[in-house]
Amino acid sequence: MNQSELLLDVSTHALLHLEFKKLDKRLSLAEKNNILVQYLKPIVKSHQYRLVKKTTKSWLQMGRKLNTDFEATLNQERERLQQMSSTDLYQFIALIQEIETELDTKAQYSLAHAIDLNARYGKVLVCVVDEDLTSSFDEDGLMTKATQILFIGDEKLKDQFSSIVDKSTGFQSVIAYEDENHLRIELFRL
């Protein structure tokens, strides 16, 4: 999980924890804040959540302030993270990160005529082929035009790459070119 996903996960679980506590009895603002602070404390110390330690610490500081509605603040943060996590740009970046992780490689960004075919990271070459990737997304993070991803590698890894792209829920992929070791796909917004 990346940082935004972890923060979304932490905030959602903290708020769910509070909701279950509210089922037992009516809670004051101070009690709600204390329950959320107590829930978040171990997360700050957890190695699993080290990516979000700084943000979680700042949330803890907010929750410890007197007369602060920490539940409302955490709900706002959760909504912001949820909106940010649902944009096409965010999903595209998550897709590229998943490809890099699964294939143990790094993606290049290049114009079609400027791709360095020898610049492989690991066993494969993955390249986002676009004249201006930022023009493929608007200011709200929605995909406005299709973009292409080129894969070069052996057939087994090509199938793995194809599988990763196919399971992406935010985009439709169309094969633009394919042979034994090459696959170029075009991604469209669903």
71-113 tens-digit pLDDT:
999 999 998 888 777 788 888 988 999 999 999 999 999 888 8
| Same-domain check for residues 73 and 140 | no
Is the pLDDT score of 2 beyond 80? no
Sheet holding 171-178, edge to edge: 107-110, 125-129, 147-152, 182-189, 171-178
> How many whole angstroms separate alpha carbon 182 and alpha carbon 162?
11
- DSSP per residue, 54-82: HHHHHHHHHHHSTT--HHHHHHHHHHHHH
| Same-domain check for residues 65 and 97 | no
Provide the pLDDT for residue 132: 83
Q: What does the pLDDT look like over 14-23, one tens digit per residue?
A: 999 999 999 8
| Same-domain check for residues 16 and 73 | yes
| Same-domain check for residues 97 and 146 | yes
| Same-domain check for residues 132 and 107 | yes
| Same-domain check for residues 28 and 65 | yes
Number of compact structural domains in the chain: 2
Q: What does the pLDDT look like over 131-152, one tens digit per residue?
A: 888 888 888 788 999 999 999 9
| Same-domain check for residues 144 and 162 | yes
**Comparing C-alpha atoms, which of 68, 49, 57 is closest to residue 5?**
49
- Domain end marker among 85, 101, 124: 85
Q: What does the pLDDT look like over 13-52, one tens digit per residue?
A: 999 999 999 988 899 999 999 999 999 999 999 999 999 9
| Same-domain check for residues 67 and 148 | no
